[in-house]
A and B are shown apart, each in its own frame.
Chain A
Amino acid sequence: MTTKTGARPAATLVLVDGSVFEGEAIGADVAISSGEVVFNTVLSGYQEVLTDPSYAGQIVTFTYPHIGNYGTTSSDDEGRRAHCRGVIVRDLARRHSNHRAEQSLDSMLRANGVAGIAGIDTRRLTRLLRETGAMPGAFGTASESELLSAARAERGTDGVDLVAKVTTPEPYFFGSGPLRVVAYDFGIKTTILRCLSEIATVEVVPASTPSDEVLARSPQGVFLSNGPGDPQSVGYAVEAIRGLLGEVPLFGICLGHQLLGRALGGSTYKLPFGHHGGNHPVRHEASGHVEITSQNHNFCVDAESLDGRVSVTHVNLNDGTNEGMVVREVSAFSVQYHPEAGPGPHDSRYLFDQFADLMTSRSN
């Protein structure tokens, strides 16, 4: 459980702009890890973040300095494995303490083949990313020049179909709730499945499943999951959603929200450094109520591009970006943030009930 301080090998993080950070290697023994470097401001929930399929292709920087304090437990996994390309922390706990813990974060990282770098000035890195936006980077025990070339070779997440890499290869069932829901797996999180399973029996299908195959299953509702990367590169999913509009109630989260937006004819764009944290205020326009939300996205639906059928339901109070919409005539709604949380606050879990109500009223 305890490793000696200072015994970790030196490692370096190099960003594509040439910025260099000195640290030490943690997690899996990998000489070079590269990806798009992003930051997340949650104070707890590191395991959920690292196993969230939406982080595919990304290296996650935690702004909170102590990571790993309460260890890890398999029940907190959000995906079947860690999908991120690496983790950057100020301090990795060498001893964890919590009755739920099964293993340390370090051993979990090793088991998942994910490398990390510790001991760096994560605040400097965050300030840099805040100014320049998420950017490619590479870290590891390799030399600075090797790392810089790796960072340069990294093409980022724009226009890359990361969904194909994380989606389930085969359909499967989850839970046994009263309703029947088909869930598109663009990189679905376990907590979303748990929330859905409270209202429905969920059949999870691969991202590439065409709409007729979904409708053939005669679901009462279709769920569009979160997932990694650029919605523009998942054209097949947009196609499928178009085929479902008006046929069956739809509920989308995060990437699912962006894909629904595109299916409705709207456009999406990349935010400077995205929203990654558990403290973003979102206003529910109908009630004026503020929800503190969990967020993880780099792309965003352009509310201006949506046609008259679409009503904006939620707005981010920090930057005014779109956080949710509803299309009543086709019984579809979606949010940009993560109402299931995991990690994060439970303020918005009512949306799952809203989905159940929509399905029930439609079925009646």
Chain B
Amino acid sequence: MPKRTDLSSILIIGSGPIVIGQACEFDYSGTQACRVLKEEGYRVILANSNPATIMTDPDFADRTFIEPLTWEVVSRIIEREKPDAVLPTLGGQTGLNTAMALFERGLVGVPGTPELIGANAEAIATAEDRDKFKQAMLEIGLSVPPSGIAHSMDEATRVIETIGLPAIIRPAYILGGRGTGIASTPEQFKVLAANGLAASPINEILIEKSIAGWKEYELEVMRDRADNCVIICSIENFDPMGVHTGDSITVAPAQTLSDVEYQRMRDAAFACIRRVGVETGGSNVQFAVNPLTGDQVVIEMNPRVSRSSALASKATGFPIAKIAAKLAIGYTLDEIPNDITRATPASFEPSIDYVVTKIPRWAFEKLPGTSGVLGTQMQSVGEVMSIGRTFPESLQKALRSLEQGRLGLGCDPAEGQLASVSDDELLSLVAVPTPERVFQIADLLRRGISIDRVHDACRVDPWFLDQMSMIVEERLELSGETLASMSRSSWRRAKRLGFSDAQLAHLWSVDESSVRAARESAGVIPTYKTVDTCSAEFAAETPYHYSTYEDENEVRPSDRQRVIILGSGPNRIGQGIEFDYCCVHASFALRDAGFETVMVNCNPETVSTDYDTSDRLYFEPLTKEDVLNVIAAETAAASGRAPKVIVSLGGQTPLKLSGQIPVELIAGTSPSSIDLAEDREKWNALCESLNIPQPPGGTAIDLTQALDIVDRVGFPVLVRPSYVLGGRAMQIVHDRDHLARAMAELSGFGSLGKEGGLSAERPVLVDRFLEDATEVDVDAIRDRTGEVIIGGVMEHVEEAGVHSGDSACAIPPQTLPSWVVEVIESYTAAIATALEVCGLINVQYAVAGTNVYVIEANPRASRTVPFVAKATGVPLAKVATRVMLGATLAELRAEGLLSRSVLLDSPSTVAVKEAVLPFSRFPEVDTALGPEMRSTGEVMGIDKSFGKAFYKAELAAGTVLPREGTVFLSLADHDKPAGIVVAKRLRELGFGIVATPGTADYLGRFGHMVDAVVGKVSEGAKVTAVNLIASGDVAFVINTPQGRGGRTDGEAIRKAANVHRVSSVTTVEAALAAVQGMAEQRHSPLDVRSLQEHHGR
């Protein structure tokens, strides 16, 4: 069937900011969809609030709306653009939910409105509504875990009699999974059911048969409108049922299913997608299998492209999102060619000849109060994928890809942590799923505990355990060897089991370079195989490679100048999609300029790991060994001509490697300049020579040195480790005790092998903390001729002290006098010149009164580059990349790549970036912002004024600024003066105000009487802010923490707001911005405008 000609314009709804459970995989899928639909000649309209995405590049759609993804806003976009259809299945849960909200209001999917393509509302509802789904599955003869609903203990008893123990009890309408538990005995059941009924506001519990410990599988299914169905990939979870699949280590393809069982599962997946009614596109069906009987049950299905689809696409080379978009417009699978073979159609099932392992990455260390225990709710912030010919190789590569100080499956310094744990303790530890479990299992195997005992404790399938034990046994074997005794076959055996040179270096107490040299002289070097969708049955066109130790290397020779772009690895707090954006832009820019681009990355969610993005993709860990190997392979394939390497666009990950790469290969700013900016003494000298003031401070490797600095500069001080992103372990310290604690914590990090450790090479920075200062961020580019352009000057909303990544910011600056902005621009140019920057530089300033202090400079791409590019229309990352490869700004201007910032010509436009925080997943965490970054993503609001742009940004971030109701105010002493203005504006807008006694008293003195005063939670008062928030009497919470101590009440209030989903702000600056936004929004309704219009295109 050919494509549909009755449609001409299609709206794609993106997934919004990066949050836990919804990350760059939807940028990847959305970007593919935009590309496909444009190529097919449709007018593409895109809605997404996330400026750091590739899909929101104005080139990818005809109309790009960086606007909040609420049904109201999207309906405005529909009104303006009048699309014929809406494609909701490529924007994650957000895309689906937004489409459903529009459908429920009769705005899409009904006659006279845009058609829903991909999946209709009925299909979405069938898949998303647990009960409907269960009924649908039973109807077609598939099993689901037995369950029942109860409203009383009598009903609960009846339910449990039919389904049996163990059972999971889930109270209805309870946030954050409170009251959920697994009952194994009748006594436990009684307690849990009673508690659950009491906890549920509607006295309802769902009782479900527990199948924790069963094996878990996923199948990625595609269906076209001719009802052809194919399975793209099967995935088997290493972690058995009980851990969210997004938090599980998963492996593709399925390893322990016989063909008989697999085909039964495949039939069930097809029956499921047909019954649910997903007409075209990709879906993901999850199954659980009883390991003792083989019984299969369906757990759930996603009627859309999912995180697993992205993984499956990267794991097989089959571009699910791209094909899903083609199917949505009417093509059938047999009409679409397989990109990779080009000779065969897409209507086939990929066969793979390697093993893929995905491991999530968590951020518990940034969220004090969390238990770190994995469960049915996803908590990870990113993931890595690795490819090896065997599971052991793939597992070890994945573990070293995580960049968490582990060199593989043990055989590294960090394994010492378990030395003092007894066997029995360790066996009980592995029963509880945590990020550490895989290492604990390895340690048990190393101690000689049998696979059966380990399996009984952790329920991980014995096949996986045996494969892990091959690694452990090899390690014992290797410990009897030395660098000199290793034969070629021993080297090969170790490398084939995935051992890194660094692990062997640790084992033999030698340095990694000697291991590398010895291995190479034994003739053992990696070979690169190709991901080709067909296990080599057909010739592959697409060079998508992974390393392994085999006979034959498949990298094809060519003579063009090669540029390797090192990616940013797994998403984590502080380093996410923004850096992937920069790397992808680098690749696009260099491709256009005629270079051969080579991407190295290990994050399956990203656009950078799409095989289409670069001329060649290496899906590899970003470690010294793996990167040097890629450089060697590329050099060999170019007849000995070494490639250039870009290290400054992927965040800290590639930057940390810059010292390991031959300096002449590094494109752009030299590593010595990067070091100069990081080296405290040299940096101080540079600032001094330029006469640019800095907050006083110094570096310390222990407490004594830190105290010396404090004696000189006074409290408060900002304490932070060098060489980390995202403010890891950064603290504002107010007294000597706190300083001692902070220094002790930092030395602890060192021994754990985590980021941010303390050592002579990596001292701690101790600086005077400037209170009440405005923080400013600048992105600039300097070329080899010395010309500097300022990309953007961003003024932060929150004061210095809140991590810049967690702070909202506006471009252009809103409160700084223009001369201050000019001073900042001059300082930036001077610093860039002094550092001999060739490429991007980001400089941070603190402005206190009329004093401008430089905080730090980083001669590399920063998190704000995509935001600045979207706000100004200048493709900063592309320009910088070309500059790094030798082009001058003047040349790029002539070429048309470097354009003038649109803000210069339309001075009333303001763009606001707001951070999106993960607190809704972690009700136990204080939501107050601080120097440690905790946001997972960002959104942008762009409009004609700051208030409107801020309002949009807040709305996009999920903070609804109310139009009416009561606002709760509780302000720290130093915030109280600004509070007068906040209270005054709120009154003008007709809001009610309740406040804590101190705040109420202060406001009263300036004539702003509050409606009610609440008591202290900590003093057991009857009416507290927490009660009011819980009862829904408060529409908005403004609570700013005291500088030190006194956090307990505020913390309880902020947590209550978080749990009850009441919007809140925790800084007075944000409160001022919020009231301004509310006021401006009141006067004129929210208006949508595309980026193309903003950019005057």
Q: Is the pairing of A and B real? A: yes
Chain B residue numbers with a CB within 8 Å of A309 are: none
Interface-forming stretch among A41-49, A106-114, A200-208, A326-334? Answer: A41-49
With contacts A281-B347, A283-B334 known, is A73 near B258, CB below 8 A? yes
Q: Which single member of B293, B333, B463, B474 contacts A290 (CB below 8 Å)? A: B333
Contact B354 A65 (CB under 8 A): yes
**Complex Cα distance A281/B343, Å?**
13
Q: Which residues of B contact A126 (CB under 8 A)?
A: 353, 535-537
Expressed in whole angstroms, the minimum distance between the Cβ of B207 and any Cβ of chain A is 27
**Complex interface: chain A residues within 8 A of B261 (CB):** 98, 100
Q: Does A5 contact B (CB under 8 A)?
A: yes
A124-B253 contact given A41-B537, A100-B294, A318-B343, CB 8 Å threshold:
no
Is B1035 in the interface zone, CB < 8 Å from A? no
* A95 and B462 form a contact (CB under 8 A): yes
Contact with B along A62-94 (1 / 0, CB 8 A): 011110011001001000000000000011011
**B342 → chain A closest CB, angstroms:** 12
Determine whether B355 belongs to the interface, using a CB cutoff of 8 Å to chain A. Answer: yes
By beta carbon, the residue of chain A nearest B1 is A288
Q: CB-nearest residue of chain A relative to B461?
A: A97
Which chain B residues border A100 with CB–CB below 8 Å? 258, 260-261, 294
CB pair A130–B538 under 8 Å, yes or no, is yes
Instruction: Of the listed stretches B55-63, B139-147, B225-233, B642-650, name the one at the interface; the rest are far from the partner chain.
Output: B225-233
Do the beta carbons of B466 and A94 come within 8 Å of each other?
Answer: yes
Q: Indicate whether A43 sits within 8 Å of B258 (C-beta atoms), given known contacts A65-B353, A127-B552.
A: no
| Shortest Cβ distance from residue B480 to the other chain A in the assembled complex, whole angstroms | 13
Q: Which residues of B contact A70 (CB under 8 A)?
A: 256-258, 463
Q: Which of B227, B353, B534, B539 contacts A64 (CB 8 A)?
A: B353
Partner of A43, one of B234, B293, B294: B234
Which interface residue of B253, B255, B259, B536 has the most chain A CB atoms within 10 A? B259
Contact of A289 among B228, B266, B538 (CB under 8 A): B228
- Chain B residues contacting A2 (CB-CB under 8 Å) are 466
The distance from the CB of A15 to the nearest CB of chain B, in whole angstroms, is 13
Q: Is the CB of B535 within 8 A of A41?
A: yes
Alpha-carbon distance A2/B473, docked complex (angstroms):
13
Q: Indicate whether A342 reaches chain B with its CB closer than 8 angstroms.
A: yes
Contact B463 A69 (CB under 8 A): yes
The contact string, 1 if C-beta is below 8 Å from chain A, for chain B 323-359, is: 0000000001110000000011101111111110000
Assuming A126-B353, A345-B266, is B259 touching A63 (CB within 8 A)? no
A94 to B463, CA, bound (A): 9
> Which chain B residue shows the least CB distance to A95?
B466
Whether B263 lies near A345 (C-beta < 8 A) is yes
Which residue of chain A lies nearest to B338 when distances are taken between CB atoms in the complex? A318
| Cα of A263 to Cα of B1008 in the assembled complex, Å | 101
Shortest distance from the beta carbon of A245 to any chain B beta carbon, whole Å: 33
Query: B68 → chain A, closest Cβ, in Å?
Result: 42
When the two chains form the complex, which single residue of A4, A39, A99, A283 contacts B293, counting CB atoms closer than 8 Å?
Answer: A99
Cβ of A162: which chain B residues have Cβ within 8 Å of it?
A: none
The answer to the question of B153 belonging to the interface, with a C-beta cut-off of 8 Å to chain A, is no
**Chain B residues whose C-beta falls within 8 Å of the C-beta of A277 in the assembled complex:** 351, 535, 537
Query: Are B536 and A123 within 8 A (Cβ)?
Result: yes
**CA A93 to CA B462, docked complex, whole Å:** 11
CA of A233 to CA of B1018, assembled, Å: 93
Q: How far is the CA of A324 from the CA of B293 in the complex (A)?
A: 38
Interface residues of B in 280-326 (CB under 8 A from A): 291-294
Q: B1030 at the A/B interface (Cβ < 8 Å)?
A: no
Minimum Cβ distance to chain B for residue A18 (Å): 15
In contact, B227 and A289 (Cβ under 8 angstroms): yes
Q: Decide yes or no whether A21 CB sits under 8 A from chain B.
A: yes
Chain B, Cβ-Cβ closest to A292? B349
**Which residues of chain B are within 8 angstroms of A43 by Cβ–Cβ distance?**
234, 253-254, 262, 351-352
A279 at the B interface (CB under 8 A): yes
By beta carbon, the residue of chain B nearest A73 is B258
CB-CB under 8 A from B461, the residues of chain A are 97
Instruction: Report whether B257 and A44 are in contact in the complex, using a CB–CB cutoff of 8 Å.
Output: yes
Given the complex, which residues of B lie within 8 Å of A93, measured CB to CB? 463, 466
CA distance A76 to B622 in the complex (A): 43
Number of A-B contacts (CB under 8 A): 173
Does A279 contact B351, Cβ atoms closer than 8 Å?
yes
Report chain B residues within 8 Å CB of A21: 551
- Judge if B581 is at the interface, Cβ distance under 8 Å: no
B550 within 8 Å of A (CB atoms): yes
Q: Which residues of A contact B352 (CB under 8 A)?
A: 43, 64
Q: List residues of A (53-68) whose CB comes within 8 Å of B's CBs.
A: 63-66
Interface membership of B529, Cβ < 8 A? yes
B226 with A288: CB separation less than 8 A: yes
Q: Mark A2-28, 1 if CB is under 8 A from B, else 0.
A: 101110000000000000010000000
Distance (whole angstroms) from the CB of A7 to the closest CB of chain B: 11
B390 at the interface (CB under 8 A from A): yes
Docked complex Cα distance between A27 and B390 (Å): 20
B536 near A44: Cβ-Cβ < 8 Å: no
A66, A342, A344: which contacts B255 (Cβ < 8 A)? Answer: A66
Q: When the two chains form the complex, which single residue of B227, B230, B255, B345 contacts A69, counting CB atoms closer than 8 Å? A: B255
A346 interface residue per 8 A CB criterion:
yes
- For chain B, residues 9 to 29, give those with C-beta under 8 angstroms from any C-beta of chain A: none
Query: A123-B552, A283-B334, A288-B226 are contacts. A5–B470 as well, Cβ < 8 Å?
Result: yes
B560 interface residue per 8 A CB criterion: no
A-side contacts of B292, CB under 8 Å = 99
- Return A43 CB to nearest CB of chain B, in Å: 5
B598 interfacial by beta-carbon distance below 8 Å: no
CA distance A341 to B354 in the complex (A): 24
Residues A346 and B230 in contact, CB atoms below 8 Å apart = no
Contact with A along B263-274 (1 / 0, CB 8 A): 100110000000
Known: A98-B256, A100-B294. Contact between A5 and B347, CB under 8 A? Answer: no
Contacts of A288 in B (CB 8 A): 226, 332, 334
Chain A 105-133 per-residue mask, 1 if CB under 8 angstroms from chain B, else 0:
00000000000000011111011001000
Q: Is the CB of A65 within 8 A of B462?
A: no
Known: A44-B258, A99-B292. A64 touches B351 (CB 8 A): yes
With both beta carbons as reference points, the residue of chain A lying nearest to B451 in the complex is identified as A95
Binary contact track A278-311/B, C-beta < 8 Å → 1, others 0: 1111010000111010000000000000000000
Are A130 and B344 within 8 A (Cβ)? no
Interface residues of B in 656-708 (CB under 8 A from A): none
A45 CA to B470 CA in the complex, in Å? 24
Closest to B464 in A: A97
Q: Enumerate chain A residues within 8 angstroms of B451, measured Cβ to Cβ.
A: 95
Q: How far is the CA of A297 from the CA of B227 in the complex (A)?
A: 28
Please tell me if B493 contacts chain A, counting CB pairs below 8 Å: yes
* Cβ contacts A190-217/B at 8 Å (1 or 0 each): 0000000000000000000000000000
Cα distance, A2 to B293, chains bound together (Å): 23
Which chain B residues border A252 with CB–CB below 8 Å? none
Q: Roughly how many angstroms separate A345 CA and B352 CA in the complex, as a whole number?
A: 16
B462 & A97 in contact (Cβ 8 Å cutoff): yes
The one of A6, A121, A278 in contact with B551, judged by C-beta atoms closer than 8 angstroms, is: A121
Our pick among A121, A290, A318 for the contact of B538 (Cβ within 8 Å) is: A318
Docked CA distance A154–B230 (Å): 39
Collect the chain B residues with CB atoms within 8 Å of residue A283's CB.
334
A152 in the interface (beta carbon within 8 A): no
Determine the chain A residues whose CB is within 8 A of the CB of B354 once the complex forms.
Answer: 65
The answer to the question of B391 belonging to the interface, with a C-beta cut-off of 8 Å to chain A, is yes
CB-based closest 6 A-B pairs: A45-B259, A343-B259, A63-B535, A95-B466, A124-B552, A97-B463
| A-B pairs with beta carbons under 8 Å apart, 27 shown | A6-B493, A43-B352, A45-B258, A63-B535, A63-B536, A64-B352, A69-B255, A91-B390, A95-B462, A95-B463, A98-B261, A120-B551, A121-B550, A121-B551, A122-B353, A123-B353, A123-B389, A130-B539, A279-B348, A280-B348, A281-B333, A288-B332, A290-B230, A290-B332, A290-B333, A290-B347, A318-B343
Beyond A6-B477, A44-B262, A123-B389, 12 extra complex contacts between A and B, CB < 8 Å: A21-B551, A64-B351, A65-B355, A91-B390, A100-B258, A120-B551, A124-B551, A127-B536, A130-B538, A280-B348, A281-B348, A345-B263
